Every structure is written in structure tokens, then in C-alpha cells.
Amino acid sequence: MGAEAWRAAFIAADAIEARHRDGDAGIWELHTDRWSHSRLICAAGLRAAAAVAPSGSAGTAARWAALADRIVAGTAADSLHPSGRWQRSPTDPRVDTALLLPALRGAVPAGDPRTLATLRTVRADLVQDHFVYRFRHDARPLQDAEGAFLLCGFVMALAEHQQGDAVEAVRWFERNRAACGPAGLYAEEFDVAQRQLRGNLPRAFVHALLLEAATTLAGAD
């Protein structure tokens, strides 16, 4: 890690330490809450930074790893659903596909029971025809509230790959890869019933997860 990157890591870690108990708008830019995804992703970042700390920085790495442990424990204390999965926030018991990302980024192990329970619930509650929705807005059918999020489809491919199911990972990848426009570009949403793109086009975060999933799955063999 270069000097500039190390300074940036220090700044980020200090900000996380000072503010990880605060609310924020979350990955989906909604109302302010203490979103589980936000906190767990901070823990993932701390673990990643600790793992590449320069020689002679063992004390700093240990402090960051300990902070990550505290954040995960705090999130589990107020945002673990009675079923054993992660829930969106202390006040929102719903599941969210974004809660698959902490395990992918290293906040918690792939084999952690909370990881497995969250993946099972996303499969059961937020999936239609191998497309994935972010979360359930209300009692309406999923497709009546918004389109499936293509970003989430590629996250599912990565999650299945992490669990060792290469066939299912490729199935998720190919299903969502095919949901592009004539120019090969992706919008943020896909209307499963009408088989058409919805929302902003093009959407960079969808393309980024497409590339990550393609690279990860290509290396599986």
C-alpha cells in the first residue's frame, strides 16, 4: 500500500470509528436510518485495509480489525432478524438483497449462519424468474412497485459462486446478462413481465457488477 493510499485508509477508518453509529441514507439513498448494509460494509472495508497494512503497522491493523468486530457485533445486536438473517435496520425487519454484499466483501464469512440465512431469504422472497428485486416495498406484488434490479442479479451470481454452486452462479449471470438493450447497455431495472429495461440508462453500477461477476465466474474453472 502506497503512502497516499495508507493516508486515505487512516482517514476512512477514523471516520468510520467516529460515525458508524450514525444514521445515513444507505446504499439505495432512502430516508436516514441505521442501515445494516452500511455498517457491515464499513466492517468489510476495515478488514480489507487491515489485511494489507504495511509492515510495522500491526497495531493499527489490529485496531481496525477489532473495530470491525465491534461493528458486526453491534449490527447483530440490533439488526439480526429472529429467523437468523440480517434485516435492513433496527426498525425495518425486511430482507434486502444489499445484505448479500457484506459476506462478498469480507465483513462476515461465507459460511456464517447469518450469511446463509440471508441468502435463503432473498431467494425465497425477492426473486422472480431469476431476476432479483432490492426489497419488498409493501404488500403489493414485487413487480408492481418497481422493476427487478439488474445489479442485484449479478450480486446473486457472486453469492451463489461464493457458496460453491457454480452452475447456479452461471445461471444467474446469464439470465441477467441477457437483459441488456440493443447497444449492449444496461438500465438499473428490468420489467420481468414486459421484458424491457426500466429506469436510468446506462447505469454504471450494473456494468461494474457485470464485469466483476464475469471475471469471478471465469476464474471458477
Q: How many CB atoms lie within 10 A of CB 22?
A: 10
Q: What is the pLDDT of residues 15-45, one digit of tens each?
A: 999 999 999 999 999 999 999 999 999 999 9
Select the more confidently predicted residue: 82 or 58.
82
CA 101 to chain centre: 2
For helices 3-19 and 58-79, angle between their N-to-C axes, nearest 10 degrees: 30
**Per-residue confidence (pLDDT) for residue 201, from 0 to 100:** 82
Q: Can you tell me the mean pLDDT for 178-190? A: 88
**Per-residue confidence (pLDDT) for residue 1, from 0 to 100:** 64
Question: What percent of the chain has pLDDT above 70?
Answer: 99
Element (H, E) at 12: helix 3-19
Q: What is the pLDDT of residues 87-115, one digit of tens each?
A: 999 999 999 999 999 999 999 999 999 99
DSSP result, 205-219: HHHHHHHHHHHHHHT
DSSP result, 60-89: HHHHHHHHHHHHHHHHHHHHB-TTSSB-SB
For 58-217, where are the E strands, in sequence order?
127-128, 131-132, 148-149, 189-191, 196-198
Look up the pTM and report it.
0.92
Q: Can you tell me the mean pLDDT for 178-183? A: 86
What residues does each domain of the chain span?
126-221
